[in-house]
Structure 1
Amino acid sequence: MIKLESLTKVFGHKPVVDSASAEFEKGKVTSIIGPNGAGKSTLLSMASRLINKDQGKVFIDSVSLEEWDTKELAKRLAVLRQANSITMRFTVREMVSFGRFPYSKGNLTAQDQEVIDQAIEYLDLTRIQHSYLDELSGGQRQLAFIAMVIAQDTDYVFLDEPLNNLDIKHSLQIMKNVRRLAHETNKAVVVVIHDINFASCYSDKIIALKQGKVVAQGSVEDVIQADTLERIYETPFNIIEQDGKRMCTYY
């Protein structure tokens, strides 16, 4: 489990994240929702040591984040950031192979190749594995990046807005595979996401931020409530239940 205790980050004189506490459990998808500027990506960056926190504590498997050796942390936690601009020309397979760097340091073994094969197959990328990233659609490229994270084979996976600028087909494909990844391999997958309905349909737990504070967290049933969402987003919501899932409409 990853545990966050009272994390705070201040830029200038403004607290972007304000005393936020949360837990990320193995075998579950946790979605972090909230309006723009709520501190979602900043929270994830502090939890993964990509940026320094000003206050608070992070524990990974009961060990303080500061105590983790960087090389060992890369074998326990994988992060896919929001912006993934690649200037060099790589194939899908080459990109996925970077996920093995914490283990191989660039000298891929037969075992590394097997893990790469499994990650490519997991996201159904076998047919295009030798295609160059710049030849693919945005959705296909994003799947390749997620396959790279899967190849890193960590207990904890952080995905920062993986659905940005994707169509419904690829967004569905990614969220279905995110859920499979958590449930079938017992990984804790944490997703920063704007689409409330995707969060509702594919998450086990939801954490809602507003102005840097955690204002709601719990199961889908606990958080996806009209009054809760109206408080977070300051707009009226209507909740529809269909086939055991909660869907939101807003007006």
Structure 2
Amino acid sequence: MDLKELIDSAQKLPNIPKVVQELIESFGDENISGDEIAKKISSDQVLTAKVLRAANTAHYGGNRKVGSVNDAVLILGFNAVRTLVLASGMVGVFKAPEGFDLPAFWHNSFAVASTCKWLAKFSRDDAETAFTCGMIHNIGELLIHVLLPEECIEIQKLVDRGARNSDIEKTVLGFNFPEAGAELANRWKFPESIVESIRYQLEPQAAPKFSRLAALVYIADYIVHANEKEAPDYLLANFPSELAMQLGINIEKLLERIDETKELIGGFDELLH
């Protein structure tokens, strides 16, 4: 089936809040006004409540009380607040298809996002952009479940027998979750660099031009899965060192602090409630 036609004809395609769309379009805009965006965020009571709840967790707020969106912008910075609003908006957009564990999906997405942000300190990439890439890296999987629930049941049967999910999707549907996610991100007007990070997350070196953000997502996803296995020997033995070196990461310094990644999700689970 044709991915673009499927999305064009979809009745269940989620619409993101207007303020979230404006924040997406603000990537790369150096003249963005924090005050103006704060006003727009404040007009959405649900988003505001979620953002402030997350901003006041130990992960963000520390000992300082964040009482308004303006406070959040002043204390956390515009980019961090944009990240929180995007996260809140994305979580609120999708309804769970039958049999799909939506909280577990978002928990994993935030784990990868937080790990991307942590990795960005070592690669000197923009931390909040890295977080955004991690947060929506798997959005195509959710989209496929929303639009094609019956096909997903058949795909899962093959995955349970040991097949690779993305390969089976490609065989059965003609596209896989990175391609579906990239198409959705493109329609939501995310910058091309973020779209590319989704499209090439499984093979960063296959991008026409090496995608640093895709490489961050690949490494972050690897770390999250290794931590879930609770197998430090596996993590170290199979670490994607070549990709890390392409990002200019000092692997020795990174691995010295790798245990930090087990506690990264911080306040983001707050956005799920």
Higher helix share: 2
Instruction: Quickly name the TM-score band, shorter chain normalised.
Output: 0.3 to 0.5
What is the TM-score normalised by the length of structure 1?
0.33
